[in-house]
Amino acid sequence: MAIKIETLRCFCTVAQTGNLIEAADRLGRTQSAVSMTLKQFEDHLGKKLFEGERKNQLSPLGLQVFEVALKQVRQFDQAVLDIMAAAKAEHGLLRIASVPSVAALIFPKVLAYVTERFPGVKVELRDTDTQQVLDALVEGKADIGIASGQHALNGVRSLPLFEDRFGLVCASDHRLIRQPNTPTIDEVLTLPFIRNALCDLIQSPKFRASEAQADVTVHNTHSLITMVKTGDWVTVLPQSVASFMPEATAFREIADLPDQRQVCLYVSEHARFKHLTEEAVAYILELGAA
């Protein structure tokens, strides 16, 4: 038999719930129908996907199949949403993916500009990490991307947007903010330090040798700021993040850390509404220049 997407969905749901009853309820099918679908799937593969009959433990093959199948189900569901959105976008559709540290600065202005300039246009904004921004562009899920660093992508052109210096981010009443002398890397990294994904862009050997010893890594920018706001932790982020940080936190340059984060604008050559995309690109470049 051909392996259908609903077969993969059925298997993934059982694997996630660990029992047929709850899986059947989620899928809106009978327990016997779910059980039959799994049996047919296993017969087709010639191997068991679960250990025993209770469906609460995957076999070694089941673990591999679950990882691949779940990804395919999610991609299919997203594709359906994208198709429906495109069908409803009579006046145009603009999809922008950006790293959160830039999205907070650009999204409100871009949204206001596009909706005023193009009444009725559909806009999708997504904030995520650099790798997922690039993936969205390559997979045709975004027309415009904003990401840290410059990367070569087939069918996507890149344009420099802006650069900003890395520096200390901590509570606004922290002693490193109040002291008269600009703090150094040693002063920053001898304190309880939280790594974040943007630290990987810093090339300074002195910084990299020390920050690698950090015990805590936080990837979500909002959670990161919340933790340093307590005064118990410090981190290093690009200066542009400071523009949307709460008053209880502050940014300060680090004397011996000259590294800058490069932010690039990525534009898909396969955007469906090219005129709309290019106008948005021109406006974002103006914001970056400002």
Average pLDDT, the chain: 90
Farthest-apart Cα atoms in the chain, separation: 73
Q: What is the CATH number of domain 89-161+262-289?
A: 3.40.190.10
The model's pLDDT over 225-239, given as tens digits with 9 standing for 90+, comes to: 999 999 999 999 999
Neighbouring C-alpha atoms within 13 Å toward the C-beta of 174: 26
Does residue 243 carry a pLDDT above 90? no
Amino acid at 47: K
The residues with which 265 forms a beta bridge, in sequence order, are 146, 159
What integer pLDDT is reported at residue 1 of this predicted model? 63
State in words which class domain 5-86 has: mainly alpha
Q: Based on the number of CB atoms within 10 Å of its own CB, is 142 exposed (0-12), middle (13-18) or buried (19 or more)?
A: buried
Mean pLDDT value of segment 4-31? 92
- Tokens representing residue 216 in the block: 């805590």
pLDDT at 255: 95
pLDDT at res. 139: 86
Determine how many CB atoms are found less than 10 A away from the CB of residue 185.
20
96 burial class (0-12, 13-18, 19+ CB within 10 angstroms)?
buried
Question: Do the two domains 89-161+262-289 and 164-260 of this chain adopt the same fold?
Answer: yes
Cα 29 from chain centroid?
34
CA–CA dist 104, 9 (Å, integer): 35
* DSSP run (H or E) holding 94: strand 93-98
Tokens of 244: 């949307």
Q: Residue range 124-152: average pLDDT? A: 91
pLDDT for the residue 25 = 92
CA distances from 164 to 11, 68, 241 (A): 47, 39, 9
CB 48 within 8 A of CB 41: no
pLDDT(217) > 70: yes
Supply 37's token pair: 């679908």
The CATH superfamily of 164-260 is Periplasmic binding protein-like II (3.40.190.10)
Proportion of the chain in helix, strand, coil states, percent, rounded to 5: 50, 20, 30
Instruction: Write the CA distances from 122 to 91, 118, 127, 280, integer angstroms.
Output: 7, 9, 17, 13
Say if residue 125's pLDDT is above 80. yes
Q: Is residue 99 helix, strand or coil?
A: coil
Q: pLDDT (tens digit, 9 = 90+) per residue, 33-74?
A: 999 999 999 999 999 999 988 888 999 999 999 999 999 998
- Whole-angstrom distance, CA of residue 42 vs CA of residue 139: 31
Q: What's the pLDDT score for residue 142?
A: 93
- Cα–Cα distances (Å) from 146 to 98, 151, 240, 284, in that order, read 4, 11, 14, 10
- Domain spans, the chain: 5-86, 89-161+262-289, 164-260
For the whole prediction, is pTM greater than 0.75? Answer: no
CA dist 261 and 19 (Å) reads 48
- pLDDT tops 70 at residue 208: yes
Is the pLDDT assigned to residue 89 strictly greater than 70?
no
pLDDT digits (tens, 9 = 90+) for 160-175: 999 999 999 999 999 9
Q: Is the pLDDT of residue 104 over 90?
A: no
